[in-house]
Chains A and B, each alone.
Chain A
Amino acid sequence: MASPGGHGGGAVSTRGGGGGGAGGGARRMKWALELSLGNTRRVTSALLHMTRGDRQSSQGDILYPIGYSDKAVPDTSVQEADRNLVEKRCWDVALGPLKQIPMNLFIMYMSGNTISIFPIMMVCMMAWRPIQALMSLSATFKLLESSSQQWLQGLVYLVGNLLGSALAIYKCQSMGLLPTHSSDWLAFIEPPQRMEIMGGGMVL
């Protein structure tokens, strides 16, 4: 226990001479590995728990033999109630978009048809969420894999998102953001080419 790290108080100590002068300056080392962790732990474990978090605390506690666990091993056998739970959870995921529709309708109604920053933000959110959901469709499907009604749930999820985006499009339409009118394409009409050349005027 002659190592200077003793008064460093850490498992890995970078520097010696912090607190006491016992170590002396000449024998200072850059770093040292302390193998007898247990001894210090016992002394400073309360302190360690407070300062370093529990990363080190779970690390090799040499009091117990390797492979020993003080928790009881859970029962991993699948039960009927769990299966129902999974099913329910999957339905929750699948019906999520559809559940949002009434909420969206309410927001739509409240935001009105004027073009200003908040309605535009709402519409963007409304349009973006289903699109995002549709893009990460495969991930959602993976989530639903465990369910028996996987395909139905997937369909419901898809329809819900499509409905959501349709709602967003409808909102855009009612706000006049969609180029569906002929006036939206007016600027692209080229002036017609002139077939005849004409000139003249009053007799000079």
Chain B
Amino acid sequence: MANLTTCLTLFFLCYGLCSAVYEDQVGKFDWRQQYVGKVLFAHFDSHSQAAKKLILATDKNIVASLNSRTGELFWRHVDKVGPEGHIDTLLFHGQDAVVMAGNGRLLRSWESNIGALNWEMVLDTGSFQAAILAGTQDSVKFVAVLKKAVLSLHYLSNGHQKWVETLPDSDTVQYQAVYSSGGSQLFVLGVVPYSHLSIIAFNIEDGEIMSQRSVAAPWVSKVQARCGVVDQGVLLCVDATTLSLYMLPLNSEEPAELQQVPLQSLDLELASGYQPVLLTTQPNPARPPLAQFFLQLGPDHHVLLQLSDGLISPLRDFQPAFLVSFATAGEKTVAAVLSPKNETVSAKAGGVVAETVHPFLHFFLMHCFIVLLLDHAYDLQASSVSLYSADSGRRLLDTTVTVHLDPNGGKPEKLYVHAFLKKDDSVGYRLLVQMEDHTLTFLQQPGRVVWSREEALADVVTMEMVDLPLTGTQAELEGEFGKKADGLAAMVLKRLSSQLILLQAWIAHLWKLFYDARKPRSLVKNEVTIETLARDEFNLQKMIVMVTASGKLFGIDSKSGTVLWKHYLHDVQPNSVFKLMVQRTTAHFPHPPQCTLLIKDKETGLATLHVFNPIFGKKSHVTPPALSRPVLQSLLLPLMDQDYSKVLLLIDDEYKVTAFPSTKHVLQQLQEMASSIFFFLVDSSQGRLSGFRLRKARELSLTDLSTELIWEVVIPPEVQKIVAVKGKRASEHVHSQGRVMGDRSVLYKYLNPNLLAVVTESVDTHQERSFVGVFLIDGITGRIIHEAVQRKARGPIHLVHSENWVVYEYWNAKSRRNEFSVLELFEGTELYNSTVFSSLDRPHLPQVLQQSYIFPSSISTMEATLTEKGITSRHLLVGLPSGAILSLPKMFLDPRRPEVASEQSREENLIPYAPEMPIRTEWFINYNQSVSRVKGIYTAPSGLESTCLVVAYGLDIFQTRVYPSKQFDVLKDDYDYVLISSVLFGLFFATMISKRLAQVKLLNRAWR
């Protein structure tokens, strides 16, 4: 019976808490954007003009298909993170995309139309070298996979292994390439560095070794990018030390040595210190490769060469040209060359002659080379693309287009060309350009950008949400009150002028309404642009500032998800650490808002500051201080300078402090407050936590700010290592200072703003001896307030620290399950000091309560909701590996949940303790919009107390609003305004009428 009551209570509680969306609310307040990451391999679906599929494999271990007309995803498969899911290669044939993943462990074939798995083969792990498609008699039938010591052949249709052969002398020879030209032989190319090349020919039918030979090559170091096969099986290698090309026919045994062709004899010169790169192409795996190939001689120097009758001859010189790429259209192959514009005058002059030749002539040729010259310049926005008919290196008519690429996106990194035959048999092309900032741009022939994808957003590192500025008129009014009074007359004038402006704006608005009303509805679009940005009534629309790992910054409108601005930082190292801070919000008109991004290079330790306006993305004119020493940490003070920007303190490795901005006013303030400014630094490698205080300068030179060490806690790194340290969010408000008990007394919360939660994991990972520790340390005194140790537990640990509670999640190694644990701190029934909080004057330790629960899923990340005043109850937002985001009421994670429900606990609305934590599908705030690989969840308060804005980022970005206590301050969507107002008016008129009637009646009675 008791159980039944418990269940019923639980049910009713949950019923009251459920917050699922209605069908018509889908997409109303939320949006999701899906990304794939930086492209490693790309193939265009088919060679006809109508095809619109694009198969991609990316560095985020994703195989995806894009619609080349719109840039939208057809399908996407997300593999495991890290080397386990790393995509080694992507081969594409017909409708099948063959993917090698996990360093040669998994061979998969995907159906490219719908993304279904054709087949999957598990191979022996490790040492993947190369994979190619192989075929006989003009049809592609096999996939050949070369590993360090093994060559295996699989059927393309079902993945079954045809044969597998071990390679001879695999301990000395490094087999690096495999080649097939459609014949009965499969060649494997091995290298013994600086000694010889080893060439083995296998019979494609049974795997028998047909021939094996080694050729002396004392210059050879590796095969990849240095060697290639051209024409009818001629191996070509390039070497930088001897400045020569080497040739060897693979099929015949005849020449026992490589034939040397010095580059000088071809009038070619190698850029000093540059390793040349050879690029060949084999349009059809069942046919021999082309006789033409590219040789890269410098970072911006490419040459198109041709092998004919055993002789190498240059066809065309492209200098400067950054990238080259081949593509095929039917029987024709396209090569793309990418060059900066301002230096291409010479190359163009050569091309002009060729323009007179009609392209039709070239279609008699079996292979038509088209060279595409994409001129690019760093400063100039315009680039130009031309098609070159190769064989002779001539340019085709009407193929030159000028392309406008984002000048801010860095250099183009990769070029993929989709060439196709038009109806009149001329060659058309589209091209996919990947920029340094991971932008994918798809261009069509007239130079039109069809779409572009910001793939940098697949790896968001940190983000902030900034309030939008008021509209011009609102700001004008606000500014009026912000300024000092100049006297009565001036104030009146100012007021009149601002009223005039308001009137003007109102008339303009009316005019616009009138104008729009005349147009058909479909034409009226509410497009968000940077000019029309303005704060809405309840501050629900904000600017999302995102920092990505590639060093690109984005400004995204939180309502629609439109990228409003982007800024690429060119000099960011790949493994930099970022910290984003909002120094000035939009509240200080006319001062623009200001964000500061701290970028620290991991290698050198040096940091730079990028100061920008978060609304427009423009770099601020404020010059940040030069940081000559490595920066350890930063601290944003609530202190402001005259321009209302918060002071940022940066601590270097000598524990000296740099202030930004560092005006005299600020430095003076800092001197005054020095004794109450504290830092803490956590050195995870040495297990040391240390606290510092800003030291008052003795002499009058204010600029020299130093610190003094005041406490130190060492957690022995041999036993446990510190994995995370979390303080509370500075913007958090706690409305209620205590909790009301069943007997109506108050249990006061221990709200120490300086409290840190330090999480440690044991070094010993054995199941029986591993443990997880949570230390609550006061960041000012270094006092350990509480420590909790979870035995037989393991990370990864996800932690949320807010108000007076800490929630963490760990893996229970003994019971083999995920568990939540919650710590809550209370001062007791008396407040020690209700007016001020000082960590230095806290004689009593708080009472700590703890409870743990079983959670049925592992989690990816966790965050707590945040609201304006902190009145709304809190929810935990839990990102699950399945892609769902769970909104878990904090009520379930309450250490005061009683085992047996009593009268008092019922009075307090405490749910009786149940070890299992439920996951209800109606708690998923992203319903079916899964967010892959959630890395972080950001919460921001809105102007409505009930509403919290949520952004989940990872591979995808998802934005929504949550209402932890439902929308208690907003009328419902389906609120019946008509009924209410009609009732009101009806009552009003009824009152009027009855009043009149009553008067008449009174008068009548008086007459009687």
A199 contact from B679, B735, B737, B831, Cβ within 8 A: B679
| A195–B838 touching, CB < 8 Å | yes
Asked if A43 is an interface residue, CB under 8 A from chain B, the answer is: no
Most buried by B among A189, A200, A201: A200
Q: A202-B684, A203-B681, A204-B600 are in contact. Are A195 and B632 (CB under 8 A)?
A: no
**One of B736, B779, B837 near A193 (C-beta < 8 A):** B837
Q: B639, B680, B722: which has the most chain A beta carbons within 10 Å?
A: B680
Could you tell me if A199 and B740 are in contact, using CB atoms closer than 8 angstroms?
no
Instruction: Please tell me which stretch of B26-34, B454-462, B741-749 contacts chain A, meaning at least 4 of its Cβ atoms lie within 8 angstroms of it.
Output: B741-749
Contacting residues, chain B, for A181 (C-beta < 8 A): 744-746
Judge if B633 is at the interface, Cβ distance under 8 Å. yes
Measured between beta carbons, the chain B residues less than 8 angstroms from A198 are 677-680, 727, 753-754, 779-780
Q: Which residues on A are within 8 Å of B, measured CB to CB?
A: 176, 181-184, 186-187, 189-204
B223 within 8 A of A: no
- Beyond A181-B744, A186-B736, A195-B836, whether A200 also contacts B754 by CB under 8 A is no
Residues of B within 8 A of A200 (CB): 633, 635, 651, 679-682, 779
A53 CB to closest chain B CB (Å) equals 11
Top-6 shortest CB links A-B: A199-B635, A195-B838, A200-B680, A181-B744, A183-B740, A192-B837
Residue of B with least CB distance to A176: B744
With a cutoff of 8 Å between Cβ atoms, the chain A residues found around residue B753 in the complex are: 194, 198
Once the chains are docked, how many angstroms separate the CA of A176 from the CA of B738? Answer: 19
Q: Residue-by-residue, is B664-694 near A (CB-CB < 8 Å gives 1, otherwise 0)? A: 0000000001001111111110000000000
User: Considering only CB atoms, which chain A residue lies closest to B835 in the complex?
Assistant: A192
Q: List residues of chain B with CB within 8 A of the CB of A199.
A: 633-637, 649, 678-680, 727
Which single member of A183, A192, A197 contacts B836 (CB below 8 Å)? A192
Tell me how far the C-beta of A92 lies from the nearest C-beta in chain B, rounded to whole angstroms. Answer: 38
Do B837 and A194 touch across chains, with their CB atoms under 8 A apart?
A: yes
Q: Would B746 and A186 count as touching, CB distance under 8 A?
A: yes
- Return 14 A-B CB contacts under 8 Å, by A number: A181-B746, A182-B829, A189-B738, A195-B837, A196-B754, A197-B676, A198-B727, A199-B649, A201-B681, A201-B682, A202-B724, A203-B632, A203-B684, A204-B607
B598, B639, B745: the one within 8 Å of A183 (CB) = B745
A176 to B635, CA, bound (A): 48
The answer to whether A197 and B744 touch across the interface, beta carbons within 8 angstroms, is: no
A196 touches B676 (CB 8 A): yes
Report Cα–Cα, A111/B745, bound state, in Å.
Answer: 26
CB A58 to nearest CB in B, in angstroms, measures 19
CB < 8 Å neighbour of B744 from A183, A187, A194, A201: A183
The answer to the question of B786 belonging to the interface, with a C-beta cut-off of 8 Å to chain A, is: no
A-B contact count (CB 8 A): 119
| Chain B interface, >50% SS class | strand
* CA of A182 to CA of B736, assembled, Å: 13
Residues of A within 8 A of B635 (CB): 197, 199-200
Is the beta-carbon distance between B839 and A186 smaller than 8 angstroms?
Answer: no
Any chain A CB within 8 A of the CB of B114? no
In the complex, are the beta carbons of A196 and B682 less than 8 A apart? no
Q: Are B736 and A187 in contact (CB under 8 A)?
A: yes
**A56 CB to nearest B CB, Å:** 14
When distances are taken between beta carbons in the complex, the residues of chain B under 8 Å from A186 are 736-738, 740, 746
Are A189 and B834 in touch, CB under 8 angstroms? yes
User: A197's contact among B633, B678, B733, B745, by CB below 8 Å, is which?
Assistant: B678
Complex Cα spacing A196 to B577, Å? 28
Decide yes or no whether B440 CB sits under 8 A from chain A.
Answer: no
Interface residues, chain B, with chain A CB atoms under 8 Å away: 577, 579, 598, 600, 607, 631-639, 649, 651, 673, 676-684, 722, 724-725, 727, 733-738, 740-741, 744-746, 751, 753-754, 779-780, 829, 831, 833-840
**Nearest CB of A to B778, in Å:** 9
Nearest-Cβ distance from residue B525 to partner chain A, whole angstroms: 44
B579 engages A191 (CB within 8 Å): no
Query: How distant is B874 from chain A, measured CB to nearest CB, in Å?
Result: 16
Nearest CB of chain A from residue B530's CB, rounded to whole Å: 32
Query: Are A191 and B751 within 8 A (Cβ)?
Result: yes
A196→B754 CA distance, assembly (Å): 8
Is the Cβ of A196 less than 8 Å from the Cβ of B840? yes
Residues of B within 8 A of A192 (CB): 751, 833-837
Across-interface contacts of B733 in A (CB, < 8 A): 191
- The distance from the CB of B932 to the nearest CB of chain A, in whole angstroms, is 27
Find chain A residues with CB under 8 A from B724 CB.
Answer: 202
Closest Cβ of chain B to A172, distance in Å, is 14
Q: Smallest Cβ distance from A185 to chain B, in angstroms?
A: 9
Q: For the complex, what is the distance from the CA of A131 to the CA of B390, rounded to whole Å?
A: 107
Known A186-B746, A200-B633, A204-B579: A191·B734 in contact at CB below 8 Å: yes
B740 cross-chain contacts in A, Cβ below 8 A:
183, 186
CB pair A197 B637 closer than 8 Å: yes
Interface residue from B634, B651, B678, B681 paired with A196 (Cβ < 8 Å): B678
The distance in angstroms between the C-alpha atoms of A191 and B831, with both chains bound, is 12
Given the complex of chains A and B, what is the CA–CA distance between A187 and B736 in angstroms? Answer: 6
Question: In the complex, are the beta carbons of B725 and A202 less than 8 A apart?
Answer: yes
- The residues of B that contact A203 with a CB separation of less than 8 Å are 632-633, 681-684
With A198-B754, A204-B600 already in contact, the answer to whether A182 and B746 are too (CB < 8 A) is yes
Identify 10 new A-B residue pairs, CB closer than 8 A, beyond the known A199-B634, A199-B637, A204-B633.
Answer: A181-B744, A186-B738, A195-B838, A196-B676, A196-B840, A198-B754, A198-B779, A199-B727, A200-B635, A204-B579
Contact flag A189-B741 (CB < 8 Å), given A197-B673, A204-B631: no
Taking a contact as CB atoms under 8 Å apart, the answer to whether B745 and A201 are in contact is no
Q: Smallest distance from the beta carbon of A175 to chain B beta carbons, Å?
A: 12
A20 to B793, CA, bound (A): 115
**Residues in B neighbouring A201, C-beta threshold 8 A:** 633, 680-682, 725, 727
Shortest CB–CB separation between residue A144 and chain B, in angstroms? 38
Residues from chain A with Cβ under 8 Å of B838 in the complex: 195-196
Please measure, in the bound complex, the distance between the C-alpha atom of A168 and the C-alpha atom of B651, giving whole angstroms: 66
Residues of A within 8 A of B636 (CB): 199
Taking CB atoms, residues of chain A closer than 8 Å to B634 are 199, 204
Enumerate chain B residues within 8 angstroms of A189, measured Cβ to Cβ. 737-738, 831, 834
In the complex, are the beta carbons of A183 and B746 less than 8 A apart? yes
Complex Cα spacing A195 to B839, Å: 8
A204 — which chain B residues lie within 8 A by C-beta? Answer: 577, 579, 598, 600, 607, 631-634
Q: How far is the CA of A197 from the CA of B736 in the complex (A)?
A: 22
Q: A181-B745, A195-B838, A197-B677 are in contact. Are A202 and B682 (CB under 8 A)?
A: yes
> Which of A176, A181, A182, A196 is most buried by chain B, counting CB atoms within 10 A of its CB?
A196
Compute how far the CA of A182 lies from the CA of B838 in the bound complex, rounded to whole angstroms: 24
Which of B745, B837, B839 contacts A182, CB < 8 Å?
B745
In the assembled complex, the Cα of A15 lies from the Cα of B396 at a distance in Å of 117
Closest A residue, CB atoms, query B747 = A183
The interface residues of chain A lying within 8 Å CB-to-CB of B684 are 202-203
Q: How far is the CB of A143 from chain B (nearest CB, A)?
A: 33
B723 to chain A: closest residue by CB: A202
How close is A48's CB to chain B, nearest CB, in angstroms? 15
Specify which chain A residues have a CB less than 8 angstroms from the CB of B633 in the assembled complex: 199-204
Assess the A195–B676 pair: CB atoms within 8 A: yes
Is B744's CB under 8 angstroms from A196's CB? no
Contact B754 A191 (CB under 8 A): no
Give the CA-CA distance A201 to B779 in the complex, in Å. Answer: 10
Q: Are B737 and A191 in contact (CB under 8 A)?
A: yes
Contact present for A193 and B836 (CB under 8 Å): yes
In the complex, how many angstroms separate the beta carbon of A155 from the nearest chain B beta carbon?
Answer: 37
Q: How far is the CB of A52 from chain B (nearest CB, A)?
A: 10
Q: B727 — which chain A residues lie within 8 A by C-beta?
A: 198-199, 201
B918 to chain A, nearest CB (A): 30
User: Least Cβ distance of A133 to chain B in Å?
Assistant: 32
Query: What's the minimum C-beta distance from B639 to chain A, rounded to whole angstroms?
Result: 8
Shortest distance in angstroms between A162's beta carbon and chain B's nearest beta carbon? 27
Q: B649 to chain A: which residues have CB within 8 Å? A: 199
CA distance A176 to B740 in the complex (A): 14
Assembly CA distance A194 to B632 (angstroms): 25
CA distance A58 to B679 in the complex (A): 102
Give, as a whole number of angstroms, the nearest-CB distance from A173 to chain B: 11
